[in-house]
A and B are shown apart, each in its own frame.
Chain A
Amino acid sequence: MKKLCIFILIIAGWQFLVPETGHSIPAFARKYGYNCNMCHTSFTKLNDYGQRIRDNGYQLPGQEGGEKNVFDTPPPIAIRTTTGISVYNVDKGTTTGFDIMGLDLLAAGVLHKNISFMFIYTPRIDEPAADFSGPGNGTNPSQLGALESANLVFSNIVPGALNLRVGRFEPAYHPISSKRSYYISEPYEIYTFTSPSDTLLPSNNFIFDDNQLGVEMTGHFRNGFKYGAGVVNGNGANPDNNTNKDFYLNLFQTFGKGDGQSAGQRIGAFAYYGWQPTSIPSPSDFVVAPTGEANCSCNKPFYRLGGDVSLNWKTFNLQALFMQGMDDKALNVFDTNKDYKFSGGFAELDWSGLWNNRLLASVLFNMVQPPSYDDSRTIKAYSALLRYYLGDWTAVNIALHAEFTHRETGKDDPFKENIFTALLDFDF
């Protein structure tokens, strides 16, 4: 604890040493000369203006063609990393670590009027040496090397009403973005919950908030209505090993001014219908784990249905999501006579304060309710965080971040975990 206090004091003292008007920069903000909070309520969450820029293919709304493209600007590259202390506590003891918790390499920008791109790569970060063996001899790296996003956006095919995104992207069906969540060590549990897996039996490895590979159409209208619809691989893999495509649709309506991110009130509904491989055809009808499949009846359906709401009052934002999931009985490792059904959601209350939203406070409640025969995976998690942004930097963001989560897994006599994280979030 003493070390932690010293760490926080050092970082807090640092803000007095660095100049207040540093002007080095990053992707979008570097291009525009903006402070981060032009587009973010507080980094990382988009405000209404930032959301409209994203919806408009990373172009300023109403200014298409009037801004510089990537060939007229410095290289549109940005980096985000989080480094700090984590304290993990369970009944039997406590462990601490000083880790790099994530690293994103990002490039994005406008190629031509109404044509833009987004690229995010997350390298492996478990070891400084290049042997890539990592913890557990490479079986448990702290971050996989992955192409998180690589997509082209064709905007305003029909002005506002039809925009097309092609490639790997964060789909529109989860309007409360986990990629831009303030929480670093606590996910939106319902997004990452999957039905149980087994190495010998088919199961569903679909993760709701994974980026997807496919095509997405979106539209936004002046009356506050938005839609998103897409056809995606479902497993996000490349090359594609899922012949059957997944489909989704989401609809939102915003009331009042704003987009429901930082002003106005938004309500939405989403539906995702997918097919999960269960086997590959073979003479012996050999059952394999859910990777690889072919044109056969062995692909089994699953769906996710839900609704979300985002309410704003002054600088408070309450966002909540509820979701139901169903995996076909063929994917249920407990009982192949029953569909695996689960539900859950989360509610998050954020407040931004001080000037230019330099201070952020948030509480988050997560809940997942599996079927009764799997209630040992019931989740309840309570989280809170404080975040303070240092300095007025144009497109450089350095924040002190402290986060705590108490998680209980299981219904009766739940397994209890306490996770405290104090870190430095750095983006430029």
Chain B
Amino acid sequence: MRYLYVLAGITLLLLPSFALAGDNTPTPPPATMVTTNKLGPERIGNLPPVPVPPSNPQTSQKILLGKQLYFDTRLSKDNTISCASCHSPSMGWSDAGPTSSGINKQLGGRRSPPVSNSAYNPLQFWDGRAPSLEEQAKGPIQNPIEMGNTHLVMLRTVQDIPGYADEFKHAFGESNLTIDQVADAIAAFERTVVTTDSPFDRYVKGDISALTSQEKKGLEIFNGKGHCTTCHWGGNLSDGRFHNLGAPQTGPLKEDNGRYDVTKDPQDQGKFKTPTIRDVALRAPYLHSGSDKTLEDVVEFYNKGGGKGVSSLDPMMVPLGLSKSEVKALVAFMTRAMTSLNPEVANVKPIPPSDLPK
């Protein structure tokens, strides 16, 4: 009987410490937002309607204005870089990489994340430092190696263009141009860049002929032995969360702390946000610094269980044991089946300078 008393005592001692441990677990505010907004994993499938913040409702005037700003190099310090320079519609809304080139041909440290479907991301940038598309849009303008401008100078430049002044007044009803209006307009346009019609989407809707036999095998592996849906879940095939895959660091940065730089939580060291799988074949190279050139390289990277010698490797990373034919099927699924067919997005053409407001 004394054992029972000892057991009961241990349990009573442990339970309060458990409760305390739960209360004291450090949770960075943005991560709380993520878990609050999106509990998962959710089943992979079609995209839901685009979430629009009440503070920035979609209007046709605002979307058009945002599109013009998106393609306008005059937002940069030396009139050479626009949003589209690094997030080009023809390159899966990313660029050729491995990392992006800003003003004066300066190289950025990370791969250009895709703008397409970014409206579904709870947090923006690889490290999630922007909580919305609006906040994200403000960043590159004053980043010294991207557009290299200041918000003030950029606003003066735009305000001095009569065509823009009229359009801003039309879109926002105010004549005083603000950085929030610029960001709102760009974000409104970006919320229209949604790729909803891929062979995968058609298959999910019931068109079983939309995928080839090999792609169906790839889908099965994607959601099974390949473990892809551990992170690439939901309609956007991204959990919007942060993981340390042990991806090799290449490019100009010798070290990249990733999410840690935002939260200062040691557990976030080397973590980067999960990108969407939609249109992934259009935007090689891959991973946060573009270290893997092809989808095959990425799958092999995962097949080996991620990077080597990383103490904080995500515990969901395990070797997969995929055979060569399974790798091929998985790549086939991600290549054609996940590539958008909806022309209203795929055919977005850059607005030539001659057509921009004057």
Contacts and interface: CB of A to CB of B under 8 A. Distances in A.
Task: Find the residue from B42, B223, B317 having the highest chain A CB count within 10 A.
Answer: B223
Interface stretch (B99-107, B151-159, B320-328): B320-328
Nearest to A19: B208
A243 B3 CA distance: 9
Nearest to B40: A67
B22 interface: yes
A66 B39 contact: yes
Contact of A257 (B217, B219, B305): B305
B343 interface: no
A36 interface: yes
A21 B217 CA distance: 11
Contact of A49 (B1, B7, B15, B318): B318
A334 B105 CA distance: 88
Interface size class of B (residues with CB under 8 A): 35 or more
Contact of B229 (A33, A47, A65, A214): A33
Nearest to A72: B39
B223 A262 contact: no
B18 A157 contact: yes
Contacts of A66: 34-35, 39-40, 241
B314 to A, nearest CB: 6
Contacts of B329: 355
Given A231-B3, A243-B1, A357-B225, A47 B318 contact: yes
Interface residues of A, number: 58
A239 interface: no
Contacts of B223: 33-35, 38, 394
Interface in B224-265: 224-225, 227, 229-230, 233, 241, 243
Interface string A310-353: 00101100000000000000000000000000000000000011
A206 B288 CA distance: 55
Interface in B307-358: 311, 314-321, 323, 325-326, 329
Interface string A26-52: 000000111111100000000111001
Given A222-B311, A257-B305, A356 B217 contact: yes
A156 B15 CA distance: 11
Contact of A295 (B1, B314, B323): B1
Nearest to A162: B14
Contacts, number: 142
A60 interface: yes
B11 to A, nearest CB: 7
A162 B21 CA distance: 11
Nearest to A61: B315
Interface string B82-106: 0000000000000000000000000
Contacts of A304: none
Contacts of A392: 216, 219-220, 224
B93 to A, nearest CB: 27
Given A35-B224, A38-B229, A392-B220, A231 B316 contact: no
Contacts of A72: 39
A298 interface: no
Contacts of A295: 1
B43 interface: yes
Nearest to B36: A66
Given A60-B41, A61-B315, A264-B319, A258 B1 contact: no
A356 B316 contact: no
Interface in B38-69: 39-44
A61 B316 contact: yes
Nearest to B228: A38
Contacts of B41: 32-34, 60, 67
B33 to A, nearest CB: 11
A355 B221 contact: yes
B17 interface: yes
A124 interface: no
Nearest to A317: B321
A221 B314 CA distance: 13
Given A35-B224, A62-B315, A66-B39, A164 B233 contact: no
A183 B30 CA distance: 47
20 contacts: A34-B41, A36-B224, A38-B229, A61-B316, A63-B241, A66-B35, A67-B40, A68-B39, A68-B40, A113-B22, A154-B18, A215-B10, A258-B305, A259-B318, A262-B318, A262-B321, A314-B323, A355-B329, A356-B224, A392-B219
Given A49-B230, A244-B3, A262-B318, 8 more contacts: A38-B227, A38-B230, A63-B241, A65-B27, A215-B11, A243-B1, A257-B305, A356-B220
Interface of B: 1, 3, 7, 10-11, 14-15, 17-18, 21-22, 27, 34-35, 39-44, 203, 208, 216-217, 219-221, 223-225, 227, 229-230, 233, 241, 243, 304-306, 311, 314-321, 323, 325-326, 329
